[in-house]
Structure 1
C-alpha cells in the first residue's frame, strides 16, 4: 500500500513539474511584454502614458526612436547573456560558471577596442555595418579569450585550473585593451561606456544585430542540449552514450563566444545576468538542458529589462550605468546563494 502511495506521489510530482514547465515560458514572455511597455513609458521626466504620446508627434518619436529600441535591445542583450550563462554552466559542469569568467569578456572588449581605434568612429555614431563589425570583432575576441583559457588549463577536466586560467587571461587581455585605448584617447569615452555597461547606446540597428545572433544561437544550443545533459552525468557517462563530445564542445564554445561577444559589442560589460538567470530557472523547476536554455534566455531578458528601467528611475533625471546596477544586485544574490549553500552544507 505504501509503495502505491509513493508511486502516486511521484506521478503527481511529475505532472506538477510538467504543468509548471508549460506555463512558465508563457508567463515569463508575458511579463517581458509588460516590462517592455513600461520601459517604453519611462523617460528622464518620469513615467509617461503611451496613449498621450500618440497625440504628440515629438513624444511619439522619442518613444519609437529612443525608449522602445533601448528596452527591446536590453531584453535581447539579457537573453543572450542568460543563454550564454546556461551554456557555460552546462559545458563546464560548474553552477557558478559565468559567460564572462573564462576570458570571453576581456577578449570581447579588446576586439571592440581594436575596431574602434581603427575605425575612428564613436559607438553612438556607428552605422549598421560598423555595429555588425563590432559584433564580429567581439566574437573573435571572446572566442580567442576562451580558447586561450582552455589552452592554458589543458581542457575542462580541472575546474580550479580552468578558473585560474580564466582569471589570468582576463587580466592579460584587459591590460592589452588598456594599452590599445591609451594609444587612441578619442575612444576612451566609448570604452568607458562599454566597461560600465550602457543600454542607452542601443538603437534599432543594435536590436537587429542582437536578434540576428540570438535566433540561430537558440537553435544551435537546442541541438546540443542532449550533449549538455550527458555531460551533467559525467565525462565517462557522456562518452559511453556515444555522444560526439569533441565537435559538440567546439560548437558550444562558439555559441558561448558569439553570445557573449554580441552582448558586449552592443551594450558593454553587464555582469551577473548570465550567472543568475539559470539559477533562477532551476529554483523554479527541475528541467533538462533543452527547456533550461530557452527559459534562461527569457529570464535573462526579463532581468536586464527590469534592471534597465531601475537604472533610469533610481536617480532620475540622471541614469545609473546598468552594468553597475546588475553588479550590485547580482553580487548580493551570489552572496545570498553562497550563504544558503554554506548553511545547507553545515546542516
Structure 2
C-alpha cells in the first residue's frame, strides 16, 4: 500500500524523468542546466498534488469554521488505493491523483449563502495564504536552469491551484458534471429555496453512500427510501436504489426501478441520463436480455464515451453478442492487475472469454488467473455473470 500511495503522488514517469536528470548531471557541462530545468519542473508538478491536498483541507476547514460538518475528502480518480477516517472525515485516495473533491453538510441554514461562499472559497484561500507567505519570506525564483528551488516550486504550485479553482468552468468526475469553485460561487445567488433546504439532508445521503461503499446494501436501501421522501430530485436516489438491489441479487427489483425512467426524454437536461441507460443495460445483461442490453449500452456509450463503467458495460455486452474483437478493445484498458476490484475483475472475466474465442490462449489464462485469485471480491451480480461465462467456456 505504501508503494501505491507513493506512486499516486510521484508516478513512475516522474521517477524516469528524475533518473534522466541525474544522468544528465553525471554527464556534466551544459547538460546540467537541462537537468536543473527538469528537476524544477518535476518539483512544481509534484507540489501541485500537495497543493490540491491543502486545497481540499481548506474547504473542509472553512466548512468547520462556519458550522458545517466536514464529511469526505476524495483525492484523484481511477482505482481506490486507501481509505481511512480522520476526525470523522472519510479520506479516499485514488491511483490517479490530479484532482480532489470535498464534501460537507450544513444542519443549520441560517446565513447559508454566506456559509457556502466561505466553504467554496476555503480551498483557494488556503492556497493563496501559503503562496503569499512563501513569496514574502523567500521570494519566487523562476530561473529554472540556475538551481533547484523547492520552496519556489511549492509556492508557485499553490498559486496555480488557487487561480485555476477561481476560473468558472465545468468538468467531469466519474462521468458526472461538477463545477469549479469559481463557478459554484457565481451560482450561489441563483440557488432556489428548495435547493438550499436539501442541504439539510446531505448527511443522510452521505451516510447511505458510506453504506454502499461498505457493502451494507440493506441499510443503504433504508436510508435512500427515507431520503427519497424528503427531496424533489430523486433520480440519483433511484439509480442508487437500483444498484443496491442489484448487489443484493434482486435483479427484477433493480430492473423495475430503472424502468421507471422509461421513456427517457432526449431533450431533458438530466445529469444522470447516461447512467440510466447504462444501468438499464447492465440489468438487462444480468437478465440475459442481450438485445435490450445492446441497445441501451450503445446509447449510454454514445452519450458518455469516456466514463469507465459505461465503457465496461458496452464491452461486456459486445462480447456476449460474439463481437469479441471490438468488445476486447473496450475492456483492455479497464484492467489493472495491481488493483483487483469489482470493476477490474468484471472486465477481466469478459476478457478471458474474448481472448479464448480469439485463440489467444495465453492471454486468456492470464485474465482467468487474475479473476480466480480474487474471486472473493466479486459481488452477487458479478459472480452470477462469471458462472454464466464459465458455463459458456466449458460447454
Q: Same fold (TM over 0.5)?
A: no
Structure with greater contact order relative to length (CA < 8 Å, sep ≥ 6): 1
- Is the helix fraction higher in 1 or 2? 1
TM-score w.r.t. length of structure 1: 0.25
Determine which structure has more spread, i.e. the larger CA radius of gyration: 2
- Is the strand fraction higher in 1 or 2? 2
